[in-house]
Structure 1
Amino acid sequence: MEALPVSGVPERWPALLVPGLTGSKEDFIAVLQTLAQSGRRVIAIDMRGQFETSGPDDPSAYTCAALGNDVDLLAQAIGEGEPVHLVGHSFGGLVTREAVIDGRTKFASYTLMSSGPAAIVGPRERAGRAMLRELPELGMEQLWHSRMEPEALAAGVPDEIVSFLRKRLFSNSPAGMVTMTREVLSAPDRCGELTQVEVPVLVLYGEHDDGWPPSMQSEMALRLNADCVVVPGSVHSPAVEAPETTAAALVRFWNAAEARSRG
């Protein structure tokens, strides 16, 4: 999904937004146009094997390293020689840091949104391990009916969004879902390597995050010498739950990063 300024002429460096494990580009709909109005071309993607981007049955195609290589290639194509602002949400943070650390692409800035320093913990870790047990044997249908649909209905999600969530889940690559879940459950801590990269970093998360605990993300920001924004009232998806606050924080960070770089 692409958004451009109303003028159609981007005056600032572009941005690439990468979703989480069970997410897709649509998770950024609420912030896309606001971000673009800051003078940028903004692109949100499905990763390989997610929703409307197909992928092979080969599990090795869905490791953080393989997906990070995709991010490198996309960023280079989008930037056309200019640096790109990179945002990774949740598992997308573990993927995008691969592209930042490998140093092949010049990034204008890097935002970890509701992501962490290593493997996910807490209730989402338990849900991931349950999915690994159930998915190979019972398939997407059981995952939807036993877990994802009841959670959506309990949260009062509108019917049309529930229909979209079902369509999205069933469009995902089963091999991709299994491998990416294993990756998010076993990711090593790479903060030390990330500190060696000269790129401005923002750690942004909801005050009630139920993925990586807020305290863990705050500590990660200190380790990375990163800017840190806590989104009031948000849980694990700030771009969905608090789009105005999230977009404003990203624009401020991007503008400051560009000013420092050009200065």
Structure 2
Amino acid sequence: MSTPRFLDLPPGVTPQKIETPQGTFAVLEALPVSGVVERWPALLTPGLTGSKEDFIAVLMTLAQSGRRVVAIDLRGQYETPGPDDPGAYTCAALGADVDLLAQGIGEGDPVHLVGHSFGGLVAREAVIDGRTRFASFTLMGSGPGAIEGRRARNGRKIMEEIPALGLEHVWHSRFEPEALAGDVSDEILAFLHKRLLTNSPTGLSCMAEQVLTMHDRTDELRQIEVPTLVLYGEHDDGWPPEAQSEMAARLGAECVVVPGAAHSPAVEAPETTAAALVRFWNAAETHYLDTRSNTM
């Protein structure tokens, strides 16, 4: 579990609600301080026990590249409500939500899509289903299939303990000790507690099952002609770095390893992460426009 670097919102970043046919989604929207939007927008999708706040440290830098940048809470996650229906929390169902959000945010323009960890599996569904035209796709600390190692063990415990013992038990037995070991501030500790308990128990348990059982869709993703970036921390303890590197090779994707970072580069190395995303987005837009002009 990584924690946001800070909770105060930087200039140009505001909480918003986005209405879709599937319901209302809580988001953080970042705009250039100048107010001038010159480039295509971006949509950021968080991981299993995360939220839109996990992107706070990169939002202002990303927006200053001339974009509207929107970080979301998935359905049933923190400030976005969700139903008790387990079917609402499959990667396919959540990916359909991402499609709707991207179509609304883009307003006719392609959208840069970023998925962190479990959010990468969800965002991948949106790319593969072909309903939305994406400018680019970034898998951040996300692998080809089911998560592995320590985080897989934690996911199994979450899946088993939430239905039987509840979110408060999971907080005291797992999340609180990890946060205290990380020496987080009282403010962040209170935020993490509130965030976990505000999640849909059904949603969190079902999402944990998804991240533990997701099959490899790398070959399907490769068939989609969208510029793809695989970005991960050199010490990632979710999907092994070598598995992510191999996935990038199979995709023919660009691969960026963030020095010093673990599973959450946007929190642990925000400036390096933001710079890599902006460079990749700019290159994807230039390539798209060059290709379009050559076919006209």
Please, what TM-score do these two structures have when normalized by structure 1?
0.99
The letter for the 2-side match of 1:86 is L
Q: Hey, what's the Cα distance between the residues in 1 that align with 2:159 and 2:65?
A: 41
Where 1:86 maps in the other structure, the secondary structure is: strand
1:26 paired with 2:91, answer no
Shift of 1:18: 0.3
Superposition map of 1:99-248 within 5 A: 99-248=126-275
The letter for the 2-side match of 1:155 is G
Where 2:180 maps in the other structure, the secondary structure is: helix
User: What is the aligned counterpart of 1:57 among 65, 72, 84?
Assistant: 84
Q: Hey, what's the Cα distance between the residues in 1 that align with 2:48 and 2:65?
A: 28
Q: Deviations over 1:27-55 (max 9, x none)?
A: 00000010000000000000000000000
Q: Hey, what's the Cα distance between the residues in 2 that align with 1:137 and 1:70?
A: 28
Shift of 1:73: 0.4
Q: Deviations over 1:166-199 (max 9, x none)?
A: 0000000000011100000000100010000000
Task: Out of 20-29 and 150-159, give the one that drifted further.
Answer: 150-159
CA contact (8 A) 2:159 2:206 kept: no
The letter for the 2-side match of 1:176 is G
Q: Hey, what's the Cα distance between the residues in 1 that align with 2:160 and 2:48?
A: 17
The letter for the 1-side match of 2:39 is R
Shift of 1:23: 0.3
The letter for the 2-side match of 1:29 is I
Shift of 1:77: 0.4
Equivalent position of 1:13 in the other structure: 40
Shift of 1:137: 0.9
Equivalenced residue count is: 263
Shift of 1:158: 1.3
Where 1:40 maps in the other structure, the secondary structure is: coil
Shift of 1:159: 1.3
Q: Aligned residues: percent identity?
A: 75
Shift of 1:26: 0.2
The letter for the 2-side match of 1:13 is W
The letter for the 1-side match of 2:212 is L
Please, what TM-score do these two structures have when normalized by structure 2?
0.88
Runs of 4+ in 1 over 4 A off after TM superposition: none
The letter for the 1-side match of 2:253 is A
1:89 paired with 2:116, answer yes
